[in-house]
Structure 1
Amino acid sequence: MATRPAHGEEAAPLSNPAGKDGPLDPASQEGRARLQALIAESLGAKVELVGVEALSGGASSATYALSATLDGAPRQFIFQRAAGSGFGLSRRIQAEVMRRAGRLKVPVPPVIAIPKDADGLGDAVITGFMPGEALAPRWLRLESFAGARERLVTQCAEALARLHAAPLSTWADLPLGAGSGAELLESSFANYRRLGVDVPAFDLAFAWLKPRMPTDPPTSLVHGDFRSGNFLVSEAGLSAVLDWELPHLSSPAEDLGWLCVQAWRFGRWQWPVGGFATREALLQAYRAAGGKVTAEELHLWEVYGNLKWGMSCLMLADDHVSGRVPSVERAAIGRRVSEVAADLVYILAFRDL
């Protein structure tokens, strides 16, 4: 499959077919015609769009599989657009980050076309179809992916090392956020106070992190959501890195620590790196690929990553409770705050999780 349901997200409703109150429905006659024209113009070939299937999405995205013929041969594409939540980078900026990451040899879906405002398709991108399984519980458990799981830590480390090695000038013209570890923590704490809640384990984690987070300026672009659930995995291993909504300038260790967060192990808690590897194997592979992150840095950013996930749970719950985004799915994720609280206490007490 080319994409998958985002972790914990519901399918997004189709937009207005006529495009009068929002972007065109890509399955409508006019939507299909515009998608077909964009692909044909981009690839310089005769294209016939023969099918549009709504896959999944949620608060941040709606995703569709496009079946087509290209000069008479069958081809598949993916159409994805923002679902109106204002979450993360625009799809157009994401597409440009993906293009540049692809030139760095990071495995990403190839960007085929970026619709303009005049196309009426919304903030969207058309990419090529990539092989692989995106549902992490499947590729983490099925025997057919056993070999892929063994290769994955090296492939992920290599992808991250290539991304992190790019000079900041690579991204200088893009509207990306940036901050030192201390600044990121300060921003997160301000959100915590804004929400007006008290979670003692979060208070403890903020207090533990404050004197330890680095104050050095950012050195690299980080993916921002590099984890199991955002990969396409084939039986050969890593096929593509998905969900480029949160890239920003930071420390490379942020991506490695986020990959170790408990929530992305999907029950395979014995394997702290995404449910498929050890921390030692990740650090060794990352260093072999040219990266430089110490075990102490990884631990620090893993604590931060678990706290960051807990803050995400709180904010999603607040979206629902406040009425801004009524959503059973967001309320359900909000209930996971208690899980994160337990994880934070454990990792701070025992330096492991």
Structure 2
Amino acid sequence: MIFYGKQNVNQQDIQAVIDVLRSDFLTQGPAIEMFEKRVAEYCGVKYAVAVTNATAALHIACLAAGLKKGDVLWTSPNTFVASANCGRYCGADVDFVDIDNDTYNMSVDTLAEKLAEAQVKPKVVIPVHFSGQSCEMERIYTLSKQYGFIVIEDASHAIGADYQDTKVGSCKYSDMTVFSFHPVKIITTGEGGMVLTNSEALYQKLQLLRSHGITRDESMLQGESDGPWYYQQIDLGFNYRMTDMQAALGYSQMDRLDEFIARRRYLADRYNELLKGLPLTLPYQSSETNSSWHIYVVRLDLTKVKLSKENIFARMREKGIMLNLHYIPVHTQPYYQQLGFKIGDFPNSEQYYKEVFTLPLYYGLTDEQQDEVVKALQEVFQ
């Protein structure tokens, strides 16, 4: 069976985890800071805070931004529900900005129009770098200065990607950036996430929120310390700590990040050639970006294809190939429908959903397996 995504773990990665298992620290040890520093240096950003998963990263990023009840968060409908749920965790309202029909990222033209018309402006905007292609961050950043909102990049798909010749994660045009290290992502820690920022104040807040709001830093204590054992809870935080075993795996995987990205870009280019002539719209890439290609999505030309997506998925599975779909528009989920959203609110995202599916793409996918995927698609369409 050829799956749509799959982790790649080698002997070096396994040994890195074994070394931690034999060490003095399984959690809250030195591997965490080593991993954080390595990702920060790669991205060209000052600070990084590793956490249990990207959902936790989004949550504490929103809290660090001061998001609370009565505030509003805007994000894309074309994303996993966590990009919106993080606002609800903070008690805030959530709204969406429809996608650009080429990139499938948040449409900045629509964002600008919505900001100009909105009586209640967002406190936080979360652009999602869908499939690994960066949003138009310079334009979004300019709007953030005009309208006074905080920008949190959801770069769960995009570690290793480039925007205007700068690594995604540099926070050049944002306040914070979030990465995911789930097994189907480009590098993995099993489960895991990270928040990056250039703000020391946000960094300190993120560290507090990651671990129960507790600090041992004497400069942050209220009153004098009772001794070397002493700590204080100065905020309401969470147990979102990454383990040293996860961090060691992530640190080891960073050795091959550029190799992983190069292979994904090669496979994406190869798909672009092999799929020519099929009734599909292939992914568009902006000249300002160089995607990390977390996923490869195609859109059906419904004027030429009479098969339903359900039929295509079933036939491909019979041939040993597992497709996927990214994403069901968040506003169409029952929870968000209960909040007042309805079908028709974001038509670009809804039409995209009717047409799209995701092909297998991962580092370990061989040329021969990719040929098998394309051949199967050709047979299904015939």
* TM-score using structure 2 length: 0.27
Query: More helix by proportion, 1 or 2?
Result: 1
Higher relative contact order (CA 8 A, sep 6+): 2
**Larger Cα Rg: Structure 1 or Structure 2?**
2
* TM-score normalised to structure 1 length: 0.29
